[in-house]
Structure 1
Amino acid sequence: MPHGYLDKLIYSQGSNNQCRQLEWKTLYDIALGIARGLEYLHQDCNTRILHFNIKPHNILLDKNFCPKISDFGLSKLCERKESIISMACARGKIGYIAPEVFCRNFGEVSYKSDVYSYGMMVLEMVGGRKNIDVGVSQTSEMYFPSWIYEHFDQSMNLNLKGVIAEEEEEITRKLIIVSLWCIQCDPCDRPSITKVLEMLQGNLQSLIIPPRPFVSSQVRSPKTLSHDKIWTISDNEIVFSLSFIV
C-alpha cells in the first residue's frame, strides 16, 4: 500500500497547523470507499463480519488512494439472521468505541457499533484533527464532535481550513451531517452502513441535521432505573459518568 495508513495523511501537521495533505474530493472518495468496504462486511459476506476497530490507523491506501480496511484482530462473526451479539468486554480504541460497547444501558451491541466508529473517523477526516485534543486552548474545543455540531448549528459557520470551492463546501457539509448521524448515542438512531452510502451519494439538500449525538437519552429499562449519561474528557480518554436514580 504505497500511501500507507490514512492517519498519516489527514491530521494537520506542525505547530503552524498547516492544511491537510489530501484534497476534499479525495477525502470524500476515501470515506465512500470505506463505507463500501463496511457494507461488504456487514451485508455481502455469507457470515456478517463486525470489525470493532474502525479508525484511521487501520485504513490502508493504495496508489490511487483507494482505501482497504485492515487489522481484523478484534472482529467478530455474526450470523446474518442475527443483529445483536454478546460481548464479554469492550474492544477497540478509546474515542472510536460506540457507547453500547462500554455500557449496555446505551443499547445492544451490533453492526451499528461499526457505524459509530466510522462516523468518528470521518469527523477526524473533516476536521484534520483527533476527536479528543487536550492541546487546544479552550476546553470547549477539546471534544471535536461537540464543537463542530455547535458551529454547524449556528449558521453552519465552520471556518475549516482549505474549504474554498462550492463543491468542496458541499462535500464537507455532507460528510459532517452523515457523521453526526453515525455517532448518535442510541444505536437505533444510527443509519445502517447501506443507508450511509445512500446519504453520501445523495443530494445535500435532502439531508437533515440530526439531534446532538452526545447528550443524555432515555434509559432502556424504565422498570428498573433511569440515568443521565455524561461525556467527560480526561487525558485523551472519554470517560462515562453515570449517575443512577432509582
Structure 2
Amino acid sequence: MLIEKYGSVAPKRYNYRQLKKITMSFQDKLGKGAFGTVYKGSLRDGRFVAVKLLHEATRDQEEFLNEVISIGRTSHVNVVRLLGFCTEGSKNALIYEYMPYGSLENNIYTTVPSAVLGWGKLYDIAISVARGIEYLHRGCNPRIVHFDIKPQNILLDEEFCPKIADFGLAKLCKPKESIVSLAEMRGTIGYIAPEVFSRSFGVPSTKSDVYSYGMIVLDMVGCRKNAKPIVENSSQDYFPQWIYDRVVQGREIETWDVTSETEGIAKKMAIVGLWCIQTFPANGPSMNGVVEMLEKSLDELEMPPKPYLSSPQQSIILSLISSSG
C-alpha cells in the first residue's frame, strides 16, 4: 500500500472503530466546514485531539493518502500537527492536535477584542502566521500552497500561538516551482486572490496565499470581516481603501484600542497587509518578503501602491456570488 512506503514518517493510521472510541461516538462537535465536521476527542495517553470527519466525497484514495503523508511530514511550530488518519471504505478522517482557544476568527471578531488580544499579541500572531506560510512555501518537501488562508483556518493553542490548519484545498508544488494549475476556483470570498478567480490578473501561485494573508492582517487591524468585499452603498468605504487613505495622510487609524504606543504596530501591520493585497501578483511580495517587512521598523517600510479595487474585479466577484446562489 502507498502509505507503507513511508514507514515511521507517516502519521498513525486508525480504523473507524478506534475513531468512534477516541471521540466517544462523535459526541462533542467543535465545528463544521465545507469539507467535514470536527469533533473533540482524546487519545489513550490523555492528549486531546480534533478529529475531522470528511464528507463522503468521491476523492481519489491515492490523492487522499498523498495529502495525508505530505501534511504529516510538515514540522513547524505554526502549522497544526497531523497526528493520525482513518481511511476505511467511504470514511476518511484526519486527527489533529487540539487547539483550546479555537480560531483566530473567534478571537478578533468580538465586541471588545482587546479583552483577549492586545496589539502586541496581534503582531506576534501576524508574524508567526507569516512564518508558517513561508515554511509551507519554502521549507517543507513537497512545498504546499494552502489556497484557503483565512481567520477560521488559523487556530490558537493554550499560549495563543497560531497554527495554520485545514489543508482541504491545498496543492503540492514541485521543487523550484511556485506556480500551480487549478481545475477550479478555490478559497473563500473575501480572501481569494484575484488571479484565482480570473486569469486576467495572473496565474495562481504561492502569491495567492500572500494575498489571503494580507486580508487577514487587515482584518486584524480593523476587526472587520472581509466576507462582503463590495460596499453596499456610497457611504461605506471598502476597508483596504479606507486604511490606505488614512496611512498616506498620516492620520490616526482610529481602530479599536489604538494608543500612541500601539499606533506604530497598527500602521506597520496595515502597510504590510496593503503590500500583500496588490491586485497583480508580480507587484506583491513573496512570503519571505512579508516576514522581512514585519521585522523592519515602521520608518523602513515604503508605502505600497493604492489597492486597485475597480469595477472589473467587483463584477467578477458579483458574478461568482450570483452563479453560486
Q: TM-score range by the shorter chain?
A: 0.7 to 0.9
1:189–1:140: structure 2 CA closer, same or farther, 3 Å change rule?
Answer: farther
1:229–1:113: structure 2 CA closer, same or farther, 3 Å change rule?
Answer: same
Distance in 2 separating the partners of 1:128 and 1:195: 24
The aligned runs of 1:158-173 (5 Å cut-off) are: 158-166=253-261, 168-173=262-267
| Superposition deviation, residue 175 in structure 1 | 0.3
Instruction: Give the aligned partner of residue 244 of structure 1.
Output: none
Instruction: Give the aligned partner of residue 239 of structure 1.
Output: 318
Instruction: Give the aligned partner of residue 5 of structure 1.
Output: 103
1:193–1:4: structure 2 CA closer, same or farther, 3 Å change rule?
Answer: same
Equivalent of 1:201 in 295, 303, 307:
295
Q: TM-score, normalised by structure 2?
A: 0.63
Instruction: Give the aligned partner of residue 223 of structure 1.
Output: none
Instruction: Give the aligned partner of residue 70 of structure 1.
Output: 165
The residue type equivalent to 2:314 in the other structure is W
The aligned runs of 1:1-246 (5 Å cut-off) are: 1-13=99-111, 18-20=112-114, 21-132=116-227, 139-166=234-261, 168-215=262-309, 229-231=312-314, 238-239=317-318
Identity %: 54
Q: Name the SS of the counterpart of 2:216 in structure 1.
A: helix
Distance in 2 separating the partners of 1:53 and 1:133: 16
1:205–1:73: structure 2 CA closer, same or farther, 3 Å change rule?
Answer: same
Q: Name the SS of the counterpart of 1:229 in structure 2.
A: helix
Whether the 8 Å CA contact 1:120–1:131 is kept in 2: the answer is yes
Q: Radius of gyration: which is bigger?
A: 2
Distance in 2 separating the partners of 1:36 and 1:180: 18
Distance in 1 separating the partners of 2:291 and 2:319: 30
1:95-115 deviation per Cα after TM superposition (whole angstroms, max 9, x unaligned): 000000000010111000000
1:50-106 deviation per Cα after TM superposition (whole angstroms, max 9, x unaligned): 000000000110111100100000000011222211111110100000000000010
Q: Name the SS of the counterpart of 2:265 in structure 1.
A: helix
Distance in 1 separating the partners of 2:270 and 2:260: 17
Q: TM-score, normalised by structure 1?
A: 0.83
| Superposition deviation, residue 156 in structure 1 | 2.9
Q: Name the SS of the counterpart of 2:314 in structure 1.
A: strand
Structure with greater contact order relative to length (CA < 8 Å, sep ≥ 6) = 1
Whether the 8 Å CA contact 2:268–2:294 is kept in 1: the answer is yes
Distance in 2 separating the partners of 1:109 and 1:83: 9
Distance in 1 separating the partners of 2:243 and 2:171: 32
Whether the 8 Å CA contact 1:132–1:142 is kept in 2: the answer is no
The residue type equivalent to 1:2 in the other structure is P
Distance in 2 separating the partners of 1:119 and 1:67: 16
1:201-245 deviation per Cα after TM superposition (whole angstroms, max 9, x unaligned): 1111110111112246xxxxxxxxxxx73436xxxx94379xxxx
The residue type equivalent to 1:77 in the other structure is L
State the 4+ residue runs in structure 1 displaced beyond 4 angstroms: none
List runs of 5+ in structure 1 lacking aligned partners. Answer: 217-227, 242-246
